Each structure stands twice: as C-alpha cells, then as structure tokens.
Structure 1
Amino acid sequence: MSKPMTIDIGISPSERESIAQGLAKLLADSYTLYLKTHNYHWNVTGPMFNTLHLMFEQQYTELAAAVDEIAERIRALGHPAPGSYAAYAALTEIPEEEGVPDAEEMIRRLVAGQETVARTARSIFPLVDEAHDEPTADLLTQRMQVHEKNAWMLRSLLNG
C-alpha cells in the first residue's frame, strides 16, 4: 500500500487539523438538528400542522445537503469526517430529542438549534481567517445565513 500524498494547499497541517475539528462540531450540530427537524416533521400536530410540516421538510432537506458539504470540506482538509451517532453525540451542543413536544415547543427547540449551529459556525471563523482558508470561510458564511434566517422565520411564528 502506498503512502498518502502530502496535502500542500497553503494551509499548515496544524491549521487544517484545528479547522477540521471545528467543522466536525459543525457537522455534529447540523446532523443532530437534521434529525430533530425530521422527527418534528413526522410528529407535528395541531392547527399549524400543514405550515410546520412543510417548513420542517424544507429545513431538513437543506440540512441533508449541508452535512454532505461540511463532511466533504473536512475531507478536503485531509481529515476523516465523523459519521456515527456516538461521535455526533460527543461533539454536538444540541440536546437529543426525547418524546414528542407540542408544536410550539418544537418551534422553540428548533430556534435554539438553528442558533446553536450559527454560533458554532461563527466560532470557527478566527481559525479560518488566520489560515486564509477562504473556501471554509465561504461555507461558514453560507451556513450562518441559512441558520440565522431559519431561526428568524421560526421565531416569527411565535411572535405573531
């Protein structure tokens, strides 16, 4: 078996490792939020059923694509992407769902989850800026835009 090729993309090995560790947390938060949102899509009831069922589907579908992008960026930096429930549970800041809350509580928990992912993405920026890692900066900016908008849209359902 041949030796792996050295990665020479202008980011040091230690910087790539630190960024990949941050992205692993982002991946874990995103995947956990995906599972929670998909769960709520299946189990939401009440007068806002149709609105929430469709909104949750849009959000979990977007998250499914996002986890792939995040994992691929980790791989491009030369590190393995975490891919198990145990790894995600150890890395995420989003609590695992237990039971089936009512629709309003689902919304509140998803707002908290969306904001958590946005904070995690934002927390990686100092490492990315220092390493001049523009592709990861672009990914993080896109993720923050999506999660901040989703949090606003969900919050608006409660503040109406």
Structure 2
Amino acid sequence: MQTNTGLTAQNADAVAAELAKLLADEFVLYIKTRNAHWNVTGDNFHANHIFFEEQYKQLDALIDSVAERIRKIGHYAPASMKIYLELTHLTEYSERANDGLGFMKDLLQDHENMIEFIRGNITPFSEKFKDYGTSDFVTGLMETHEEMAWMIRSYFR
C-alpha cells in the first residue's frame, strides 16, 4: 500500500536519504559506545562501564526511532553494516589505549558532529521539503545528543 502523508514523493525521497545517513551515524555511534562499554579499562572502570551502558541504551532507542521515522514516510530503513559504513559521517576507532577519557573524547566528538548534522537538516526538512513532522522529530534527537554530549563533557575539567 502506498504511503500518503501529504509529502511529495520527491520530498519524501530527499528526507529519507538524510534520515538514512542519520540512522547510519546513530548505529556507528552505538557500536562505538558498546565498544567503550566492553573494553574500557583504568581507575574508573566501574563508573565508566556503567556510564557507557546508559549511553548505548539511549542510542539503541534512538536507532529504532530513526528507522521507524523512515518507515512512517514510506521508505525502508537501511539495515546493514556495509550500507551504514557507506552513509555515516563518523569514523571507526583507531588503535589506541582503552582508557575512559580517550573513549569519551572520541564519543564526544561524534555527538557534536551529529548535532551539527541534525541542526543543518531541521530547517530544510520543514521549509524546503515541507516535512514539519521530521523537522520536529530531529529537533528532539538533536536535544538528546546535546544532553548526551553534556554528560560526556562533564567528565572533563
């Protein structure tokens, strides 16, 4: 059955393409946060282990919400690592020590990159593509990433 949300097919295609990039970013960030949870070492191991777990659980919910938003506007959500790695703006970890602050610096940079990407799409989604629902949706995602980044940033003096 065809989706009829009031968006033109061209606008829905454009929005879905940007949401697919966002989904890829969310998934890569999720994997990186899981990696931090599994592999963190050091003096604050326990606190960092729990902190990273809280963060990856939040990201898991965000991943689902982005994929469902793509479905709501009539498209299929990409769902393979190959596609995610082609679409993402983020990079995988380089080889380095597994200390908590090292992981946090990398994850903070990723959250900030995602905030910029999302912020750059809020206005086009509403004004250019007339998709006010997705504009509102990604505004909420941006606010979540701002809060997650703040939590990470608070570990630094």
Normalised to the residue count of structure 1, the TM-score between the two structures is: 0.90
Q: Deviations over 1:16-49 (max 9, x none)?
A: 1111011001100000000000010011111221
2:74 is aligned, of 74, 78, 81, to 78
Root-mean-square deviation (Å): 1.4
Cα offset for 1:122? 1.5
1:122 to 97, 115, 119: 119
- 1:11 maps to 7
Q: In the aligned structure 2, how far is the partner of 1:10 from the partner of 1:119?
A: 28
State the 1:93 CA deviation: 1.1
| 1:74–1:80 CA contact under 8 A, matched in 2 | yes
Aligned position for 1:87: 83
Structure 1 unaligned runs (5+)?
none
| Residue number among 106, 109, 118 corresponding to 2:106 in the alignment | 109
Matched-pair contact (CA < 8 Å) for 1:18–1:127: no
Q: Secondary structure at the match of 1:158?
A: coil
Structure 2 counterpart of 1:136: 134
Q: Structure 1 residue runs of 4+, over 6 Å off?
A: none
2:20–2:87 contact (8 Å) kept in structure 1 = yes
User: For structure 2, which runs of at least 5 residues remain unmatched after alignment?
Assistant: none
- Equivalent in 49, 52, 61 of residue 48 of structure 2: 52
Scaled by the length of structure 2, what TM-score is found?
0.92
Equivalent pairs, count: 155
